[in-house]
Amino acid sequence: MDEIVKEIGLNNNCTFCGVFRRQALDRGAIMVKADKILTGHNADDIAETVYMNILRGDFFRLGKCVDIITAQQADDSGLPRAKPFKYTYEKEIVMYAHFKRLDYFSTECIYSPNAYRGYVRELIKDLEKIRPSTIIDIIHSAEQMKIDVQTVKFPKKMYCTRCGFVSSNELCKACVLLQGLNTGKAKQAIGRKKNDDQVKPID
């Protein structure tokens, strides 16, 4: 990430981290012949994701981001993903780790001071002051949303022509970003001009 930040600055680096991290997790799971991927997403994470998908108008991800088990989708490796901490607050996990004297990371990512998710997190924390059940309410609300598959166009499952990994385009996002880094056009790879520092980051 140090090298990536040198190239693109502190805006939009979450895009690179997220794409590379997810694909590394998928590839690692395939290598060890796993049949399921369990992630540590907690209730806070999921509520933030719901809010971000609504603000972006991303109906495809909104329809599955609250599923406790995500079956095979057009944009993943084919392995089901499960979120065992879906209804567990982040503070509960931290308290458990503290009292059980478990090692855990309690610091924010140093590369994401301008992350889109950070603004959404602050908004949700402000809402919690008014309505303490905000996080669970957001999750339950999203669970009740039904996506009309007749009107929403879902990505078509393809395979990247460069690396062979599952993708919804001719080139997977990881290859697009890598190409941008290798050619000195990292910002163009995420849809930004080289001198455009005013565009808000995408987490």
- For every residue of 40-101, which 3-state class applies, written as one string? CCCHHHHHHHHHHHHHHCCHHHHCCCCCCEECCCCCCCCCCEECCCCCCCHHHHHHHHHHCC
C-beta of residue 8 within 8 angstroms of C-beta of residue 198: no
Which pLDDT does position 149 carry in this prediction? 65
Written as six digits, the tokens of 151 are: 């009107």
Domains of the chain with bracketed CATH: 1-34+156-195 (no CATH), 36-148 (3.40.50.620)
Q: Which of 189, 197, 45, 171 is nearest to 114 (CA)?
A: 197
What are the residue ranges in the chain where pLDDT is below 70? 71-78, 149, 152, 154, 188-203
Which pLDDT does position 48 carry in this prediction? 95
What is the model's pTM? Answer: 0.79
Which pLDDT does position 74 carry in this prediction? 41
Rounded Cα distance between 202 and 105, Å, is 23
| Half-sphere exposure (Cβ direction) of 25: Cα atoms closer than 13 Å | 16
C-beta of residue 64 within 8 angstroms of C-beta of residue 49: no
Rounded Cα distance between 17 and 15, Å, is 6
C-beta of residue 202 within 8 angstroms of C-beta of residue 116: yes
Q: Work out the angle between the directed axes of helices 90-99 and 43-56 (0-180°, nearest 10).
A: 160
Which pLDDT does position 200 carry in this prediction? 38
